[in-house]
Amino acid sequence: MHSFNPDLVKVSSSHFIGGVHVAGQGAALELDVRRPSDNRVYAGLPVADAELVDMAVQNAWQAFKKSNWARQAPRERARIMRRWADLIEADVAQLAALEAVGSTRPIANAVAWDIPFTAEGLRFFAEFADKVGGDVAATRSDALGMTIAEPYGVIGAIAPWNFPLVMASWKIGPALAAGNAVVLKPSELTPFSAIRLAELAIAAGMPPGIFNVIQGDGPTTGDALVRHPRISKVTFTGSTRTGSAIMAACAESGTKPVTLELGGKSPQLVFADAPDLERVAKMVAGAIAGNAGQVCVAGSRLIVQRGVAGQLVEGIAAAFKALRPGHTWSGDTTLSPIISRKDALRIDGVVRRAVEAGASIAAGGALAAVEGEGGYYQPTILTGVQADMEAVRDEIFGPVMTVQVFDDDDEALALGDHPAYGLAAGVHTADIGRALRCARELEAGPVWINRYGRSDDYVLPTGGFKRSGMGKDLGRQSYEANLRYKTVLVDFMRQ
């Protein structure tokens, strides 16, 4: 798709409940929604209060109980989800524009990756519908013991703003394929593409109410959703602080199981024997500059062997220079805006404080100039850092990479370990023994060897250790997490 006029993109400022748009509840409960690219308000967003959240959840519960979504042949549920995926792909022009205009996702990325990835992910989970069930246990010969897999009922899903459609699909895909109903709260910063997703679900034949969307903020809408007594499980992607609050709310109002993908401060370990250092430099650069570093698994800590550190940093800096910041509706943009100008200034503050504490800037280190009032930040490399610096310790969620050097494997692994986070890690080496040792010893959910970042292999789960979360998205594991297991023991009675 070529560049588009953002002023021509129409959005639905509403909730979507029971297969229809539901209007907001008045200006007193409305938020301004701004375009990150230029900071312009382009829509108002209704905020669902506890009463409207109750309406959405009760509607989903009734749909779960009275429609045949959970009781029908699993292959039919899968067919509806595959039709839904086909409609998503066919609607790429509208969906991509909706995704790009109000988020940090450039239109070229939305067309080439976000929309196709969302559709294919739904197809992947649909195929689990008739392939995961219960088991027959070994019991004495005059009895039959079974475990039966059943959907929970209504799943509460809260998606983040950095990849609105993709992250929503990770939540709703496995839950719906398993036979549950879902109430989704998208981020109030990027709320509108989810409405179109729900419209297309109805067009595909999904029963009204099985997939509802409510709009609003965390303290009002999100809290009411996770505490609702009809919500049987919660899945969330976002900050560690918010995830902790959600887990506490689920304990107080349930207890309810949770899946949490939270913050990260992921290392990229590069050894001197890494094949093709030029290729590695581009990969490492992409791992922090992609979506302007606004990625949970961003490779924000470069840990490199001393002998190749200078060459690698130069290669990364060169890759950064090739990036072009710009509006998300421009087909030429290769560096995303920061979600808000306030966040861009926050990122700059982290860099300033690192320099004051003794770090040096090897690339970037300032706001990027782009027409309009949006927030953009130059991809930045900080050298000469110490482990206790804020820039090394805390998640920045921006295109800022710190560099630490090591001399041997043990030092590399010690630097790679983070006291709080364990979301992801990368290892670059030609030594398979070293690679496998690192994979064993690094405390992280995914460990990528001679690459960095997820692939389109939906079967591989993702999820963090430590304060980076619990549970898994993607893979068989995320599907099974949306089922509960009942034990049945039958004694054979003779007449």
Catalytic residues: 261, 296
Which residues are registered as beta bridge partners of 402? 301, 382
Distance in Å from the first CA to the final CA of the chain: 72
The structure tokens listed for 334 are 């290769």
CA-based nearest residue to 119, from 458, 446, 454: 458
Q: Which two tokens stand for residue 76?
A: 């039919």
The phi, psi pair for 90, rounded to 5°, reads -70, -25
Alpha helices, DSSP H only, in 17-142? 50-66, 74-90, 92-101, 107-109, 115-126
- Residues in Cβ contact with 113 at an 8 Å cutoff, skipping those fewer than 6 apart: none
Backbone angles phi, psi at 252, to 5 degrees: -75, -25
Reduced to 3 states, what is the DSSP secondary structure of residue 108? helix
- Which residue has 């205009």 as its token pair? 101
H helix or E strand, kind and range, residue 424: none
- Tell me how far apart the alpha carbons of residues 121 and 306 are, in angstroms, rounded to a whole number: 41
The DSSP code sequence of 160-212 is: -SSSHHHHHHHHHHHHHHTT-EEEEE--TTS-SHHHHHHHHHHHHTPPTTSEE
By the 8 A CB rule, do 386 and 358 touch? Answer: yes
Phi, psi of 91 (to 5 degrees): -95, 20
373 contacts 401 by C-beta, under 8 angstroms: no
Hey, what are 226's tokens?
């996770």
Q: How far is CA 137 from CA 145, 146, 485, in A?
A: 5, 6, 13
What angle (nearest 5°) sits at the alpha carbon of residue 209, between those of residues 207 and 212?
Answer: 125
Is the torsion defined by CA of 450, 453, 458, 463 positive or negative? Answer: positive
Q: CA of 127: how far to CAs of 174, 224, 368, in Å? A: 10, 32, 45
- Among 131, 257, 145, 133, which residue's Cα sits nearest to residue 487? 145
- Taking alpha carbons only, the member of 427, 406, 350, 412 closest to residue 382 is 350
